[in-house]
Amino acid sequence: GMMEVLPDRCVPIAKRELLYMGAVGIVCWLGGIIFIDRKRTHDAISTMAEAAHTMLSQDVRVWVFPEGTRNHSGSMLPFKRGAFHLAVQAQVPVVPIVISSYQHFYSKRERRFTAGQCVIQVLPPLPTRGMGTADVPALTERVRTHMLAAFDALSAELR
């Protein structure tokens, strides 16, 4: 689904562990994915600062999964704040993209992966111009609230 809506000059951010997953890691590295070492906070912050600089100097967009890990619960996990710090630091808008639940065709616990559909919705951008570090918690919650409402509506649409 992500490849269907990925804009030009956009790179995803992924956990560093993916780099060591054989062919998947090689493909990710060749694709220009930015890897974050979540276990080393200082390194992660440094990588995000570098990403903010690249976003501004080279007109690159960054795709971040704010939950921080794959979610199998059928809802949304609380968001990590790194993506929002990045947006505020770069003073770029947050463009939330919501993908409906895939519970009806994929379950890791049940080892089920069958045919199914997801709906993708791009929500209106939320500006960060003029925001600072102190605004990040409220921005994070505002984005999550908008995304959760859209997620619930999209998922209900498919039931």
Bridge partners, 99 (sequence order): 120
Mean pLDDT of 94-119: 80
Separation of alpha carbons 82 and 46, rounded Å: 11
Separation of alpha carbons 99 and 112, rounded Å: 19
Separation of alpha carbons 103 and 29, rounded Å: 29
Bridge partners, 113 (sequence order): 106
| Whole-number pLDDT of residue 47 | 76
Tell me the pairing of strands 61-63 and 10-15: parallel
pLDDT digits (tens, 9 = 90+) for 74-100: 678 889 888 898 899 889 999 998 888
| Whole-number pLDDT of residue 147 | 93
Whether residue 58 is predicted with pLDDT greater than 70 in this model: the reply is yes
pLDDT digits (tens, 9 = 90+) for 143-152: 999 999 999 9
Q: pTM to 2 decimals?
A: 0.76
Please give the single-letter amino acid code of residue 62: V
